[in-house]
Amino acid sequence: MTETSRNLASAATGGPIIAVDGLTKRYGDLVAVDGVSFTVRPGEVFGMLGPNGAGKTTTVEILEGMRRADSGSAFVGGIDVHRDPQKVKSIIGVQLQSTAFFDYLSVAETIKLYGELYGEKVDVDAILEEVELTDRRKAYFNHLSGGQKQRMSIAVALVNKPQVLFLDEPTTALDPQARRHMWELIQRIQSTGTTIMLTTHYMEEAEELCDRVAIMDRGKIVQLDSPDRLIEQLISTGFTATREVKLATLEDVFINLTGRSLREG
């Protein structure tokens, strides 16, 4: 372990909750993650942005203990991901973009089952209320709408009261009402002190939710800062938007005309 890694490991217990130093992952001749270093502060929403193939998913999967880095170090909650990936998994929650559950277990039964797998006594009703699925507690997973399935996957990710919650494109394919309700859910989870690491292709979503974002390209972090500061830095270069900035968007029109309430049949 390098001196930098020792410092990061120490900092993770009293400073950053995630500390990454020189992380590298190769697949043959392809360098998917190329010497990435960053830290995540406790309680923030930290966004990983980048085009497809930029390396963000591989980076996150290493932090989740799902992949092993070729070199570099990563600590989550002071735990060395390389040395003890199982311990890391005990303090994180992971919501995947595509998640399969048992089709013929009810929503409540599924949450209870995952609680038992984690050895946790779960307040099923409280979790269902948090993710707005109380009225679907007896429904089977395969009878849920797309938005309900996304919220269900977050509910399961919360059963072990994670210190860090990983969200992988949580609003993909959701309608405007469902997407905004998801934003509100993420903000409520953050308000409890949970750190959230978010990947998304929606820049509006990142700007709305993230305290800081890391923009990746070709395996490297090319910029890291708050959305506001990144925008200010771009404007300071003399950048001029090619499209007129309007006071409202078509999505605002849609929400105004159809309402903010969820419509899930």
pLDDT digit of tens for each residue in the chain (265 aa)? Answer: 443 344 344 444 569 999 999 999 999 999 999 999 999 999 999 999 999 999 999 999 999 999 999 999 999 999 999 999 999 999 999 987 656 788 889 999 999 999 998 888 899 999 999 999 999 999 998 899 888 999 999 999 999 999 999 999 999 888 888 899 999 999 999 999 999 999 999 999 999 999 999 999 999 999 999 999 999 999 999 988 888 878 888 888 888 888 767 666 5
- Complete domains list, the chain, with CATH: 42-65+85-91+162-258 (3.40.50.300)
How many Cα atoms within 13 Å fall on the side-chain side of residue 228? 3
Instruction: Provide DSSP, the chain.
Output: --HHHHHHHHHHHHS-SEEEEEEEEEETTEEEEEEEEEEE-TT-EEEEE--TTSSHHHHHHHHTTSS--SEEEEEETTEETTT-HHHHHTTEEEE-SS----TTSBHHHHHHHHHHHHT----HHHHHHHTT-GGGTTSBGGGS-HHHHHHHHHHHHTTT--SEEEEESTTTT--HHHHHHHHHHHHHHHHTT-EEEEE-S-HHHHHHH-SEEEEEETTEEEEEE-HHHHHHHHHHTT---SSPPPSS-HHHHHHHHH-SS----
Given a contact cutoff of 8 angstroms between Cβ atoms, the answer to whether 79 and 13 are in contact is no
Q: How far is CA 95 from the centre of its chain?
A: 7
0.75 exceeded by pTM: yes
